[in-house]
């Protein structure tokens, strides 16, 4: 099973709402990632979790709050977002690269977020 699943597929939220994006993988990967992708742009790394601990935070605003409850699950909690946060949010997972060569990342289909 090389699948990364993400829910929901689409999300529309107001600027005062609180919502969460969910990501799940069952490949035994110990690194998980959140990316933000605007239209016609490459994915931009937001967060990396390694062994359920936050290892990289790319100076993301605090209105985005990641959580890794266990090795298979990754959440992104959203609060007080701005319209410019509308984008495709991609989750990915990989074997942990901390001891050597980087491993390929497996991506989910993404959540299309619209902030109104």
Partner 1 sequence: AQSVTQPDIHITVSEGASLELRCNYSYGATPYLFWYVQSPGQGLQLLLKYFSGDTLVQGIKGFEAEFKRSQSSFNLRKPSVHWSDAAEYFCAVGFYNNNDMRFGAGTRLTVKP
Give the alpha-carbon dihedral of 111, 19, 87, 107, to 10 degrees. -30
Contact status: 4 vs partner 1 (CB under 8 A): yes
Size of the site for partner 1 (CB under 8 A): 32
Stated as kind and residue range, the H or E segment containing 44 is: strand 44-50
Q: What is the DSSP string of 82-109?
A: -GGG-EEEEEEEE---TTSSPPPPEE--
Q: What is the DSSP string of 70-89?
A: ETTEEEEEEES--GGG-EEE
Question: Contact with partner 1 (CB under 8 A): which of 19, 22, 79, 112?
Answer: 112
| Interaction mask 76-105, partner 1, x per CB under 8 A | ------------x-x-x-x-xxxxxxxxxx
Contact 63, 83 (CB under 8 A): no
Measured from the CB of residue 49, what is the shortest distance to partner 1 in angstroms?
9
Taking CB under 8 A as the criterion, which residues in 32-61 touch partner 1? 33, 40-43, 45, 48, 50, 55-56
Contact status: 28 vs partner 1 (CB under 8 A): no
Residues that bind partner 1 (CB under 8 A): 4, 31, 33, 40-43, 45, 48, 50, 55-56, 88, 90, 92, 94, 96-110, 112
């Amino acid at each position: 099973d090389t699948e990364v699943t993400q829910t929901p597929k689409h999300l529309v939220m107001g600027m005062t709402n609180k919502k969460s994006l969910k990501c799940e993988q069952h490949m035994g990967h110990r690194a998980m990632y959140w990316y933000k992708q605007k239209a016609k742009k490459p994915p931009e790394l937001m967060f990396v979790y390694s062994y359920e601990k936050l290892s990289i935070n790319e100076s993301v605003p605090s209105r985005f709050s990641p959580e890794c409850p266990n090795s298979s699950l990754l959440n992104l909690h959203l609060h007080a977002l701005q319209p410019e946060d509308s984008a495709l949010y991609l989750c990915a997972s990989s074997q942990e690269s901390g001891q050597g060569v980087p491993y390929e990342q497996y991506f989910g289909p993404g959540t299309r977020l619209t902030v109104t």
